[in-house]
Amino acid sequence: MFFLGSSCTDEVENLQPFINGNPATFFNSVSAFQNGLDGGYLQLRNYYADSGSGYQGMPDILSDNVVQAFTGRLSNDVYYDYRYVPSTAGFINRTFSEAYEAVNVANLIIGQIDNLPDAEPQKNDILAQALAIRAMAHLDLVRLYAQIPTQSDGANASPGIAYIQVENGDIADPLDQLERETVQSNYNDIVADLERAAGLIDAENGEGRFDRDGVYGLLSRVYLYMGRYEDAVNAADQVSVPLATGAELEGMYQDANEAGIVLELSIDTGTETGTNTLGNNVGVLYSQSSPDAVIVEYAIEFDLWNSIDEATDARADAMQFVAVDGDGNSYNGISKFFGETGQNNGRVDIKAIRAAEVILNKAEAEFELGREADALATLDELRAVRFDPFVAGTETGQALEDAIQFNRRVELAFEGHRFFDLKRRGESVVRSNNGDIIDGSGTPADALTLDAGDFRFQLPIPINETNANPNFNQNPGY
């Protein structure tokens, strides 16, 4: 499961070079290493942008940001209703497999990096990108299948995942039956990889790749998850990408501009040819379109939508459209992944880290450190480019914390954050009893709450993995 993408019927001789790590088999030029990095980014894209159950949208389906449209296909309803089990297909299996494939590719690069001479100017940057890919994939695994350090008092000592890493000249053995490490050990390894990458990576690497801003943006998230708030502030301060303005926001989601993007996973959208060779229609999680109607899968939750001031908040137009199905029912449709400019095919690049998240990471960390004036000023950096007219905030105490969390929920809605934000803060998922129709009528969710501490905040380890590797213990409750 961890590594092998080919059939189990492969001949042993075909596996020998892979297991032995023959240097001639893998990377021996800059172009070969760049191709390897492309493969690593491809694996990240594969589980972020999966058209059936991608990492970009499923954490919102697992939370309180959306309501399922019961006139749709009822896709991913086992996740929406918290009925998933170890044998559930889709999101559980694909994320586990594809994230570890990304780790595998990164480790192949890291293990062979000394095939490049030290004088090669791109060597450090290649190594740094591989370290960042490895860290990101492991983070996505551990925050989904294990607790988050700030989630509970015992989270750090609870079972994490297997952090697979190699040193120069080594290669991981795909037949190893690895054991789960602790959450604290996993996060320490993630930080070690990212801090090492930060000292090696280039300032700019172009669209769709980690660079210095991307590494520090991810570090700000990781430190926030760990409760290392001063480090989260310092990491956020290293990110130089400016916030997207209100005028730029809608176009950014339609791939018309790159405003405010710290790390993007570029998708082969096929806009020009009408083809999409990778099948990455991430927006299909929320809706599909035909010439005559929209088939809504998940709509914006009624109370969430009504909490946004459409007249003054630029995020309203960027996140919602009125979707009408073939029966004439209207919904608060999710427009962030509806398609590129002029398209309705659900194919857009994945905005994995945005400057807005980094600012919100910083504001929350400053609040947790008791620096309320700083937290308010940081929050107002975001609000100043989201609200017209903008009025400087005056909140303190609980009102300030509520304002930070409200703006985080609205700003990052439908981008794969909400479930993890509730989880890491030790809060329950509490859904309203509103239905799916645009006026709040219709059919509400079957499962209205997921109490803090419920075992289902940690998704089950795929049964294929626990069957193949008895050392990788199943999560409690499954």
Token pair belonging to 284:
């299909």
Q: From CA 189, how far away is CA 331, in angstroms rounded? A: 44
Task: Report which residue type is found at 467.
Answer: N
pLDDT in tens, 232-258: 999 999 999 999 999 999 999 999 999
Model-level pTM? 0.93
pLDDT at residue 409 in the model: 98
Residue 23 has pLDDT above 70, yes or no: no
Q: Does the CA dihedral 234-240-244-245 come out positive or negative?
A: positive
pLDDT in tens, 329-341: 999 999 999 999 9
pLDDT in tens, 78-130: 999 999 999 998 999 999 999 999 999 999 999 999 999 999 999 999 999 99
CA angle 234, 235, 238 (to 5 degrees): 95
- Which among 311, 310, 327, 328 has a CA at the least distance from the CA of 319? 310
Average pLDDT score over the chain: 91
Reduced to 3 states (helix: H, G, I; strand: E, B; else coil), residue 294 is strand
Q: Does domain 16-254+351-453+461-468 have CATH number 1.25.40.390?
A: yes
Token pair belonging to 179:
């054991």
**Which residues, other chains included, contact 165 with Cβ-Cβ below 8 Å and sequence gap of 6+?**
107, 110, 134, 189, 193
Residue 328 has pLDDT above 50, yes or no: yes
pLDDT at residue 175 in the model: 74
Q: From CA 414, how far away is CA 163, in angstroms rounded? A: 28
Q: From CA 13, how far away is CA 16, in angstroms rounded? A: 5
Q: From CA 309, how far away is CA 229, in angstroms rounded? A: 31
CA distance to 53, 59, 124, 312, 349, per residue, from 339 (Å): 17, 20, 36, 25, 9
pLDDT at residue 10 in the model: 37
pLDDT at residue 6 in the model: 36
Mean pLDDT of all residues in 409-424: 98
Residue 415 has pLDDT above 60, yes or no: yes
Indicate the pairing of strand 330-334 with strand 320-324: antiparallel
Residue 276 banded pLDDT, cuts 50, 70, 90: very low
**Which residues, other chains included, contact 183 with Cβ-Cβ below 8 Å and sequence gap of 6+?**
142, 146, 147, 148, 149, 155, 156, 157, 158, 159, 160
Residue 9 banded pLDDT, cuts 50, 70, 90: very low
Q: Does the CA dihedral 75-78-81-82 come out positive or negative?
A: negative
Mean pLDDT of all residues in 345-355: 94
Cross-strand partners of 126: none
Residue 308 has pLDDT above 90, yes or no: yes
- Which among 198, 129, 189, 132 has a CA at the least distance from the CA of 165? 189
